[in-house]
Structure 1
Amino acid sequence: RLTTRLDAAGEVRESVRGADDALRVRRGDLLAALRAPLEGRVEFLTGDSVATLDDDGDAVHVAFDSGDFRTYDLVIGAEGPHSNTRRLVFGPERPFHHYHGQVFAGFSLPNDFGLAHETVVWEAPGRRASLTAYGPGEPAHACLTLTREDPPYTVFGDPWAQRELVRGYFPEQVWQLPVLVREMWRAQDLHVDVVGEIRIRAWSHERVALVGDAAWGGSLLAGEGAGKALVGAYVLGEELGAGGPHGGAFARYEELLRGGAEKVPL
């Protein structure tokens, strides 16, 4: 696998060829692989969100934004670092979120660059743009990263304000930066977020538990978020499947994983 680094003027600083023996699974493919065995066995509710949670000690009564209403024995929040379940049960995100001083925008775009099995990285003080292509004929993936002292909380509810924010940090007419900014504006899968991590005192409360980045895990810089979430889900499932009160299963799950989670590099 070839990685090429460019300076702020778009000139090549170095090119390094390394082994490409890592297994990479796209998010959509992973989701399909996890979901397929559950079809017909589990009810999937899509395009909806939890509005309220009422844990009465015997069950959790859930109202959805759509107006639907369900009652469950347990609720597991696994919606990532901005978990709505965590907000409803544990309170607002800000006390739990530790910002690492960077904002990123990730998206896919047509691979019109002739890239295959390679990454090109443009770097300038406080900013970074990367372009990655895996196989020939497949879409390319871009990530624009910028350093910012304060997290831009005000733009996260507005996709167009997010685009404006990121575009303002990449005005140069060098390398492929104009193309990346233009494609970011068009991207249907754009994801803008801050580099940070969640640290929370307890991963469960009564009949609600948190898994993955909703509860713990390193930042984007540490990587492996999906793998860590799968490990957490597996351990929690094993403990619940062992029988006994759910509170004991929640406690054992946290006891087994918290030590390692707190040592995750940033």
Structure 2
Amino acid sequence: MEHTVSTGTTTVLVSGASIAGPALAYWLHRYGFTPTVVERAPAPREGGHPIDVRGAAVDVITRMGLLERITAAHTETRGLSTADSVGRTRATATMADFSGSGSENDVELMRGHLSRVLYRATESDVEYVFGDSIASMREDDDGVRVTFERSAPRAFDLVVGADGLHSTTRALAFGEESRYRRYIGTYFASFSVPNHLGLNRWVTLHNTPGRGAGIYAPAPHTSWREPPRPGAVSAPGPSPEAKALFVFTTRHQLPLGHHDTPAQQRVVERAFAHMGWEVPTLLAEMRDAPDFYFDSLSQVHMDHWSRGRVALVGDAGYCPSPLAGQGSSMALVGAYVLADELAAAEGDHRAAFEGYESRMGEFVRGNQRIAASGAGLLVPRSWPGIWFRDQAIRIAPKLPSIDLFGGRMQRAANAVDLDTHVPA
């Protein structure tokens, strides 16, 4: 059926302006709701790591009219090599070897560029409040009374948390993060470094058991603040800037604060103190990196993503971890489905939230299961595991039947019905 929605007085506060938040705001505005997006950061977020838009998420982006925009921002990554401790190549594969069973429409781009494209698509129609965050929420029969860290209190009909793994909205509405976050045994760090190896649209990894260090050097335009416009031609040579990547396994979570950068950097230094290859050079660059990022690789598992007039979308409700390679795609699909259900229910949030959870359930579970495969590829836990991974990379181009989890990822990425309701 077609939506015939007239919900201009239905106000929705969306917490988070990375990917799920602006995507949800786009669809809410399109269906006649009045969204407001609040974001703790002082401006739209920049930088970040590479992410993928694949499967059903490509359909969502296409329906938004943004496929050409994000395709122009493609990282143009050509392939991956593994190296030993003195820099000799052990195995090499092109991106086609990893995604032979994927769709040619899938796009890898920087997280900051996808966020910026979504923000530009909504900034003229949606109220954005930067530099602020939800402090408290109180629900009553008429809506949700929200206080903010800086702004004056306001009332909204609905509140949606799109504020990531460490969601403030989830903590306020559902309880402490520890009840829902499942640590999957791995920590991740990244930061910008000079591209001293001259890698051109390439990734190189070095591993010891339970440890992985890498240098990722995508196309030069990936370091731009704004993504390139369609038709722009990227410089053919290597970018002067690259990303250093560190991944390591630990049995238990570490007692670290989310914002304690010096302590996080000390942990990385200890974990990689005796590794060869380019690791000493990368660690020396880490202290002065302006964009150092560190976190556990964790998933969020919840029985329900809604309570009363509050719902969660994206990583806040069902983070798959970066090892699944599907977090941004799940955020885009979740935003579309949630808005679609709210529109079809004509603002009846109870019916809409029930439909949202029903449609997204298997899609979420399937994508979260992918993370285990990602861990085995990126950071094998033993020398035999490293050897086996390298052998698989070597022979993958010769044996198409070997699936470096590309096929499974594609099946999971498409396991959702976008057309339960037909958009207006």
- State whether TM-score is above 0.5: yes
Local SS of the residue matching 2:273: coil
State yes or no: 1:254 paired with 2:377.
Answer: no
Question: Residue deviations 1:4-36, cap 9 Å, x none?
Answer: 112345443222344396522211211111111
- Aligned match of 2:290: 188
- For residues 124 and 10 of structure 1, do their structure 2 counterparts lie closer, same or farther at Cα, with a shift above 3 Å needed? farther
- For residues 153 and 63 of structure 1, do their structure 2 counterparts lie closer, same or farther at Cα, with a shift above 3 Å needed? farther
CA distance in 2, matches of 1:258, 1:236: 12
User: How far 1:217 moved relative to its partner?
Assistant: 3.8
User: How far 1:74 moved relative to its partner?
Assistant: 0.7
- Aligned match of 1:159: 261
1:170-181 aligned at under 5 Å gives the runs: 170-172=272-274, 174-181=276-283
User: How far 1:146 moved relative to its partner?
Assistant: 0.9
Question: Residue deviations 1:185-234, cap 9 Å, x none?
Answer: 22222221111100011100011000011111422211121111000000
- For residues 85 and 101 of structure 1, do their structure 2 counterparts lie closer, same or farther at Cα, with a shift above 3 Å needed? same
Question: Residue deviations 1:59-118, cap 9 Å, x none?
Answer: 111111125322111111011111110001100011211111111102222323211121
Local SS of the residue matching 2:179: coil
CA distance in 2, matches of 1:202, 1:161: 35
User: How far 1:246 moved relative to its partner?
Assistant: 1.1
Local SS of the residue matching 2:366: coil
Deviates more, 1:135-144 or 1:69-78: 135-144
Q: Which has the higher helix share?
A: 2
State yes or no: 1:16 paired with 2:98.
Answer: no
State yes or no: 1:5 paired with 2:89.
Answer: no
State yes or no: 1:99 paired with 2:183.
Answer: yes
Q: Which runs of 5+ in 2 are unaligned?
A: 1-77, 98-103, 220-237, 372-424
Q: Which has the higher strand share?
A: 1
Amino acid at match of 1:225: G
Question: Residue deviations 1:101-150, cap 9 Å, x none?
Answer: 11110222232321112110010011101111112225312210111111
CA distance in 2, matches of 1:61, 1:184: 43
CA distance in 1, matches of 2:275, 2:210: 17
Local SS of the residue matching 1:25: strand
2:121 to 20, 30, 37: 37
Task: Give the TM-score of the pair, scaled to structure 2.
Answer: 0.60
Local SS of the residue matching 2:178: coil
Could you tell me the percent identity over the aligned residues?
A: 38
CA distance in 2, matches of 1:138, 1:209: 42
Judge conservation of contact 1:9–1:174 (CA < 8 Å) in 2: yes
Task: Give the TM-score of the pair, scaled to structure 1.
Answer: 0.93
Judge conservation of contact 1:7–1:124 (CA < 8 Å) in 2: no
1:208 to 290, 306, 310: 310
State yes or no: 1:241 paired with 2:241.
Answer: no
Amino acid at match of 1:208: V
Larger RCO: 1 or 2 (CA < 8 Å, sep 6+): 2
1:53 to 118, 128, 137: 137
- Aligned match of 2:38: none
Q: Which runs of 5+ in 1 are unaligned?
A: none
Judge conservation of contact 2:186–2:297 (CA < 8 Å) in 1: yes
CA distance in 2, matches of 1:18, 1:262: 26
- Aligned match of 1:169: 271
Alpha-carbon RMSD: 1.8
Local SS of the residue matching 1:45: strand
